[in-house]
Amino acid sequence: MSLIILRADSRKKILNAIADLERHAGLKVRGKPRILRNDIADRMASSILGELRMKSSVAAAVEVEEDDTRSIMAIRRIHPPAHVIVVSSEYDEYNDLREMFGGLRVLRGYYSHKGS
Span 83-108, mean pLDDT?
Answer: 95
Span 49-61, mean pLDDT?
Answer: 95
The pLDDT tens digits for 17-28 are 999 999 999 999
Read off the pLDDT band of 110 (50, 70, 90): confident
List, in order, residues 6 or more apart from 69 with CB less than 8 Å away.
none
Residue 109 in this model has a pLDDT that exceeds 80: yes
CB 27 within 8 A of CB 77: no
Architecture in CATH for domain 1-100: 2-Layer Sandwich (3.30)
Residue 71 in this model has a pLDDT that exceeds 50: yes
Give the pLDDT of residue 116: 45
Are β-strands 29-35 and 2-8 bridged in parallel, bridged antiparallel, or unpaired? unpaired
Read off the pLDDT band of 32 (50, 70, 90): very high
Give the pLDDT of residue 26: 96
Q: pTM of the full predicted structure?
A: 0.92
Rounded CA separation 92/102 (Å): 18
- The full set of domain ranges for the chain reads 1-100
Residue 36 in this model has a pLDDT that exceeds 90: yes
Mean pLDDT of the chain: 94
- Phi first, then psi, for residue 80 (nearest 5°) are -70, 155
Residue 62 has what DSSP assignment? E
